[in-house]
C-alpha cells in the first residue's frame, strides 16, 4: 500500500471531522456578491470555496487576494449554521472545498456528483462520477453496495455507516478487476 495515500486519507478524514465539529470556521467572502468567494482551480477547473480553521489564516489569505485586486473579506460560520452554509454551496454549483489554503494543513475536499447502479441481465454496473476520489474509495463503495444487494447490509444501515467514519463498518474492498476509468472530463478553454 502506498504510504502517501494513507496519509492523505487520514488528513481528509480529519479535515471532514474538523469541518463538522469545530465551533467556528472562517470563509473568504466576495465583497461584491456578499456570497462565498469562488476560486477556479487552474489545474482541475474545480470551483472552490476557501475555508479556514483559524481566523488569522483566513485574514492572511484575504489580504493576499486583496493584493491581487479581489474585493474580499472573511466571515465566521458558527457550528449551528454549518449545515445551511454547506447546503447552499451545492446550489451555487461549488464542487470542492479548499481548506486552509496556504498553510501546512492545506487539503482539498472532493465531491461525488452521481452514483448510478444499473442491471442488464446478469451484469451490474456501478458508475461513480466525481471530481476526485480517495484511495480505494470506489472499490469500497462498490463493496458496500454489493453487501446491500446480497442482504449482508440493510439499506437503512448506510447513513450509520457513513456517520461512523469507520472503514471497518463499510463493505468489503472489491478487487480491482472490473474497475475502469471511463472518462476524464476537463473543461476546454473556449477560444475568443
The predicted-structure confidence for 109-139, as pLDDT tens digits, reads as follows 766 778 889 999 999 899 988 767 766 788 8
C-alpha cell recorded at residue 65: 487576494
Query: Considering only CA atoms, which of 83, 97, 153 is closest in space to residue 141?
Result: 153
Residue 68 has pLDDT above 50, yes or no: yes
C-alpha cell recorded at residue 154: 440493510
Hey, which of 57-71, 91-105, 107-121, 142-156 has the most confident mean pLDDT? 57-71
Taking each continuous run of H as one helix and of E as one strand, the counts in the chain are: 5, 8
Amino acid at each position: 500500500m502506498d504510504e502517501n495515500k494513507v496519509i492523505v486519507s487520514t488528513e481528509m478524514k480529519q479535515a471532514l471531522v474538523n469541518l463538522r465539529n469545530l465551533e467556528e470556521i472562517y470563509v473568504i467572502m466576495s465583497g461584491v456578491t456578499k456570497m462565498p468567494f469562488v476560486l477556479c482551480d487552474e489545474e482541475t477547473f474545480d470551483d472552490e470555496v476557501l475555508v479556514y480553521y483559524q481566523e488569522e489564516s483566513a485574514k492572511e489569505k484575504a489580504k493576499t487576494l486583496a493584493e491581487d485586486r479581489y474585493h474580499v473579506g472573511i466571515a465566521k460560520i458558527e457550528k449551528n449554521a454549518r449545515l445551511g452554509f454547506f447546503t447552499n454551496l451545492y446550489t451555487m454549483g461549488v464542487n470542492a472545498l479548499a481548506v486552509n489554503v496556504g498553510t501546512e494543513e492545506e487539503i482539498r475536499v472532493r465531491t461525488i456528483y452521481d452514483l448510478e447502479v444499473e442491471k442488464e441481465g446478469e451484469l451490474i454496473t456501478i458508475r461513480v462520477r466525481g471530481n476526485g476520489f480517495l484511495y480505494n474509495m470506489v472499490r469500497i463503495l462498490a463493496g458496500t453496495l454489493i453487501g446491500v444487494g446480497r442482504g449482508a447490509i440493510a439499506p437503512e444501515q448506510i447513513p450509520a455507516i457513513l456517520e461512523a467514519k469507520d472503514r471497518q463498518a463499510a463493505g468489503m474492498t472489491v478487487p480491482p478487476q472490473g474497475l475502469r476509468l471511463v472518462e476524464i472530463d476537463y473543461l476546454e478553454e473556449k477560444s475568443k
